[in-house]
Structure 1
Amino acid sequence: MLLQLKHSGELVKILEIQELLDPNSDIVHAKEQEGEEEQQPDSFKKENLVFPSGEDLPRCWLDADYRTANA
């Protein structure tokens, strides 16, 4: 799955989808998609990622208490 960094607009390829979906994890491991060479894995804060369309990640991926927290 490809996501985009909010601050730079660069694409990153998520390595473990389950890590992205886990609301108890605030980071994901991904590879930046720069040029033709394969990049080394790096960790990224989920709060700094959006879908390539610019849409934010679902709250249930970011907040384990999303059902009980005030909106």
Structure 2
Amino acid sequence: MSAASSDVYQLKVTLSGSRSPIWRRLLVDSGTTLQDLHRIIQVAMGWQAAHLHQFELSDGVLFGDPEEDPDGR
């Protein structure tokens, strides 16, 4: 039996506002959820779930957890 094929996407994650460029190139499976992507980014950047994040789709829809923002923004 052959394994089901799935697409793999290459993503470049860039930290905005840094003086020197800070970025990571990631390979993620096409079935990766936004929650899983959040965890992958946390590990890749060396963070410990203490950084705010937001995903913006091409149509302008935003995803993020407002509960994680101590300022309520």
Q: TM-score, normalised by structure 1?
A: 0.32
TM-score, scaled relative to structure 2: 0.31
Larger RCO: Structure 1 or Structure 2 (Cα < 8 Å, ≥ 6 residues apart)? 1
